[in-house]
C-alpha cells in the first residue's frame, strides 16, 4: 500500500485555504459567518478538519429507504375512505389517520384498505376514540396507535393507556408543531429530547415502548441534514442511559408551511423538493410532505396531494436515494455542523431539565420565550429582506392566486409562523 506524504497534503490544504480566503476578501466576506436565526457560527475551518469519525449509530440501517407518509384528517368517513384509497394509489405506503371528531365508524373508514401492504398510524387524542378503535380491531397487521404525549391532559394517563391497549402503541413527541411556530433547530431538538426523557421517566422502567419523533424540515439545506443527524446522537444518548433498545424510535420528517406561498404556488414544489432531500439525506424513517395549501381557506386538492407524494416517489425510485445511506458521512463541514447543533441542543435540554414538573408553566414559559426571540429575528430579517423568499418579499407574483391562510390552533400558546402572513401585514 502506498504511503501518503502528510507534508504535501498539509501544503495543498494551506494553498487551497489561501485561495478561498483571497476570494472571500475580494467579495468582502469574512471566513466566519454567524447564523443569527440558528445561533450558530460557521467558519472556513469547519470544512478543513474534524476531530473524529461519525458514530456508528448514524449508519445502523442497511439502506436509506424511507416510507412515504400521508396525513388524513377524518371528519366524514365515506369521504375520507375515498381519499385514503386515492393517496394509496398515488404512491403513499403509510397512512396517518387524524380524527377530527370523537366518534368514528372505523369499518366504514377502512373499507377496502389492505393493511398487510401498508403501515397505518392512528392518532388517538381521547379514551372514547381508543375504546371504539379497540372494539373494531381484530389483529390487522401493521396498524399502530399514536399517542401524542404533550396532548394528554395528565401525562400519567400514558401508563393506563399502554396497559389497556391491545393495539401496538407509538408514543408521539411532536417537534414539528414547535418548528411550525418558528423554533430553530436546536430549540426543536432540545424540546424533543426533553419530552423523550420525561416520558421515559413516566414509563417506570418499561422498555417495550416505541417512540415516534415528528421533526419539522426547514429550508436551510445543510443545517437540516445536520439537524437530523444530531437528533440521532441525542436520542441514542438518552436511550442508552436507561438501557432502552436503540431501535425503539422512528423519525418522521414533516414538511410544513412556514415558507410556502399561496399567492405564488408554483414556487412550493421546488421548496418541498429541497427540503425532502435534506430530510432523506439526514436519515428519516418516514417522509410526510403536507400539500402546500392544506392550511388554506380553499384547502388541499387532489392535485396538490399528488404532487406532494410524487416528490418522495421520484427521489426514491428515480434518484435512488434509498440506496445511499448517510451520504454526507465524512464531510468535515457536515460533521462539524452536526456537532455544533447537537451540543447547542444538549445545552438547552439541560436548561429545560432544571424545571421539575414535566409540563410546568415555568418550563413552557422559558421555552416559548426562546422561540419568540427566534421568531422576532426571522421577522426582522424578512422585513429587511436579509432573508429573501421569492414570491413573497422579492419577485412577487404579478397575478397572485386568490387564497389565504386559515387561523390555526396554537401550540404551547404560540401561533404558527408563516412568512407570507408577514408580507400581508
- At residue 164, the pLDDT reads 77
Helix, strand, coil distribution of the chain in percent, nearest 5 = 45, 15, 40
Domain 63-323, classified CATH 3.20.20.240, yes or no: yes
3-state SS class at 225:
helix
Site of grid cell 393495539: 167
How many whole angstroms separate alpha carbon 196 and alpha carbon 217? 19
C-alpha span between 204 and 188 (Å, rounded): 25
Q: In the prediction, which pLDDT does 150 show?
A: 72
Q: What's the residue count for the chain?
A: 425
Q: What is the pLDDT of residues 71-106, one digit of tens each?
A: 999 999 999 999 999 999 999 999 999 999 999 999
Q: Could you state, in order of their start, the residue ranges of all structural domains in the chain?
A: 63-323
pTM comes to: 0.92
Predicted local distance difference test score (pLDDT) of residue 9: 55
* Contact partners, residue 312, CB within 8 Å, separation at least 6: 66, 68, 91, 276, 287, 289
Q: What is the pLDDT of residue 27?
A: 66
pLDDT of residue 55: 64
Q: What is the pLDDT of residue 262?
A: 97
In this prediction, residue 60 carries a pLDDT of: 62
Q: Which residues, 6+ apart, have CB-to-CB distance to 353 below 8 Å?
A: 194, 197
Tell me the chain's radius of gyration from C-alpha atoms.
Answer: 22
Backbone angles phi, psi at 114, to 5 degrees: -95, 95
pLDDT < 50 stretches in the chain: 1-4, 6
Going by C-alpha positions, the residue among 422, 418, 407, 401 that lies closest to residue 297 is 407
pLDDT of residue 114: 97
pLDDT at 3: 47
Distance CA 336, CA 40 (A): 11
Amino acid at each position: 500500500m502506498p504511503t501518503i506524504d502528510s507534508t504535501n497534503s498539509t501544503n495543498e490544504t494551506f494553498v487551497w485555504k489561501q485561495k478561498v480566503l483571497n476570494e472571500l476578501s475580494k467579495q468582502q466576506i469574512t471566513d466566519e459567518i454567524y447564523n443569527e436565526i440558528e445561533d450558530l457560527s460557521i467558519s472556513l475551518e469547519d470544512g478543513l478538519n474534524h476531530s473524529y469519525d461519525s458514530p456508528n449509530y448514524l449508519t445502523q440501517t442497511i439502506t436509506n429507504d424511507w416510507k412515504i407518509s400521508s396525513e388524513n384528517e377524518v371528519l366524514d368517513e365515506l369521504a375520507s375512505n375515498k381519499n385514503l384509497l386515492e393517496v394509496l394509489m398515488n404512491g403513499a405506503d403509510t397512512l396517518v389517520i387524524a380524527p377530527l371528531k370523537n366518534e368514528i365508524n372505523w369499518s366504514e373508514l377502512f373499507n377496502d384498505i389492505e393493511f398487510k401492504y401498508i403501515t397505518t398510524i392512528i392518532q388517538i387524542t381521547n379514551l372514547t376514540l381508543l375504546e371504539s378503535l379497540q372494539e373494531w380491531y381484530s389483529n390487522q397487521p401493521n396498524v399502530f396507535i399514536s399517542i401524542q404525549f404533550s396532548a394528554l391532559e395528565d401525562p400519567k394517563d400514558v401508563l393506563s393507556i399502554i396497559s389497556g391497549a391491545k393495539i401496538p402503541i407509538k408514543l408521539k413527541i411532536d417537534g414539528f408543531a414547535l418548528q411550525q411556530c418558528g423554533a430553530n433547530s436546536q430549540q426543536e431538538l432540545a424540546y424533543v429530547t426533553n419530552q423523550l426523557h420525561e416520558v421515559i421517566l413516566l414509563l417506570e422502567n418499561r422498555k417495550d415502548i416505541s417512540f415516534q419523533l415528528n421533526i419539522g424540515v426547514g429550508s436551510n439545506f445543510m443545517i437540516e441534514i445536520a439537524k437530523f443527524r444530531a437528533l440521532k446522537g441525542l436520542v441514542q444518548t438518552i436511550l442508552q442511559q436507561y438501557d432502552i433498545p436503540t431501535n425503539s424510535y422512528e423519525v418522521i420528517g414533516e414538511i410544513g408551511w412556514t415558507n410556502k406561498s399561496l399567492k405564488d404556488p408554483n414556487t412550493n414544489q421546488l421548496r418541498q423538493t429541497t427540503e425532502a432531500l435534506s430530510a432523506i439525506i439526514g436519515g428519516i424513517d418516514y417522509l410526510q410532505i403536507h400539500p402546500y395549501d392544506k392550511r388554506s381557506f380553499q384547502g388541499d386538492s387532489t392535485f396538490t396531494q399528488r404532487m406532494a407524494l410524487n416528490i418522495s416517489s421520484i427521489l426514491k425510485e428515480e434518484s435512488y436515494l434509498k440506496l445511499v445511506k448517510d451520504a454526507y458521512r465524512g464531510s468535515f463541514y457536515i460533521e462539524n455542523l452536526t456537532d455544533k447543533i447537537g451540543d447547542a441542543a444538549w445545552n438547552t435540554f439541560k436548561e429545560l431539565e432544571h424545571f421539575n414538573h414535566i409540563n410546568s408553566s415555568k418550563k413552557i414559559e422559558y421555552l416559548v420565550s426562546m422561540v419568540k426571540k427566534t421568531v422576532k429575528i426571522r421577522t426582522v430579517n424578512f422585513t429587511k429582506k436579509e432573508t429573501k423568499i421569492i414570491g413573497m418579499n422579492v419577485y412577487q407574483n404579478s397575478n397572485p392566486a386568490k387564497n389565504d391562510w386559515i387561523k390555526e390552533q396554537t401550540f404551547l400558546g404560540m401561533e404558527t409562523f408563516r412568512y407570507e402572513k408577514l408580507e400581508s401585514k
